[in-house]
Every structure is written in structure tokens, then in C-alpha cells.
Chain A
Amino acid sequence: GAVVSQHPSRVICKSGTSVKIECRSLDFQATTMFWYRQFPKQSLMLMATSNEGSKATYEQGVEKDKFLINHASLTLSTLTVTSAHPEDSSFYICSARDLGGGNQPQHFGDGTRLSIL
């Protein structure tokens, strides 16, 4: 079945560092991918919709200059957390749907746990 790969799975870095997270659709093309953030013991909150070849759409309250999204190809979207601070520590998850497969659910990456010291 369709698989979404997310990398890295875990990042620990100092405050002020920029961190890039990759989300790849492995066997299907995804014109749209979604980025979610999850705080401990909470649900997933949509951050932004990543659109191939155009600007991402951000949810209210999500700083686009803080969370840079690039969807340069049909199989890759990247989320860069710029100048990360401890409050950015969270679990980030991407998802995508194989639109060519009929009634398909969304497929999620395994997530990236970001810890900013």
C-alpha cells in the first residue's frame, strides 16, 4: 500500500537552530500534503497544507515565517522550523493521500519528535 516516509524521526538541538523535516510519498504522487503538530497527550492540530508548486496555506495562529514549507516536487514536502526555541518542541507529523487510488485514506508519516534545549 501507499507509504509516507518522514525523516528524521527525532531531533535534539540547541535553541536558535533551524531544523528541516522531510515528508516523502514513496509510491504515489501527492499534490497536497498536510503538516500536523501534536503536543504531549493531545490530539493532532493541523498546521498547514502544503501545495506542490505553490504557497502553503497556514492555519490561523501558525507563523508562516517560523514554519517554512516547501513542496518542490510531487513526492516531497519539507517543513523547516526556523530559529527553533523550546516552545517549538513537539511531535510533527505529515500526511498525504493517493488521489489516484479511489477511496483511499490519508497516509501518515511516523512523525518527528523535535526537542529544543
Chain B
Amino acid sequence: SQQGEEDPQALSIQEGENATMNCSYKTSINNLQWYRQNSGRGLVHLILIRSNEREKHSGRLRVTLDTSKKSSSLLITASRAADTASYFCATDASLGNTPLVFGKGTRLSVIA
């Protein structure tokens, strides 16, 4: 079952602007991951942040994690039209053979 909520559900911005997406979850986690999905395609892993980490960067991506609030955010800086996609957070209870639990996702549209 889905345990997380993401907001906003949809976000439309101009190219060059920053995009922030938020994710909340309900149970304890080992790590939280963010994925991107272009329309009709599979998932592309963006970044993994462990429960003992508070912030992580990868290129134009910045992820924060607040385990006390059970929330995470994904910031995409200097957005490009190619960033248009759906973004999902997924929580991982362990690094063993456990499935990911996905949030509902944010549909990002970057307008050129």
C-alpha cells in the first residue's frame, strides 16, 4: 500500500526557475529515494538519501530528509524543458529484500 503523499501533485514552471517537490511518509525507513519517470517510460533513479543523512546533492538536484517530520524534499535548480516528467519518492525499510513504497508523485512541467 502507498504510504506517502507528495505535493504538489502537479507543478508548472518556466525554464530556469527552481522546482521544489515534497514527500511525506508514515513509517520508519532505512533510506528514501527519488525517481523520475518520463511519460510511458520506466523509472530512472535520481538520488538515495540514508536515514542518517540530512541533505544530499547531485548536480542540479538537492534532496533533504527530516526524519523527525518524516518528510523529504527534492529541489531541481535552473530547470530545463527536459526536466519535464513525473517525480516519485520511494521509501525503503531496509537494504535487504524489501520493496519500495512509492508516493503519489509530482508531475512537473517546465515550459521553455
Contacts and interface: CB of A to CB of B under 8 A. Distances in A.
A24 interface: no
A81 interface: no
Interface stretch (A12-20, A82-90, A106-114): A106-114
B41 A43 contact: no
Number of chain A interface residues as a range: 20 to 34
Nearest to B107: A41
B42 A44 contact: no
B88 A43 contact: yes
A113 to B, nearest CB: 7
Nearest to B97: A32
Interface of B: 1-2, 31, 33, 35, 40-43, 45, 48, 50, 88, 92, 95-97, 99-105, 107
Interface of A: 6, 31-32, 34, 36, 41-46, 49, 59-60, 91, 93, 95, 97, 99, 103-111, 113
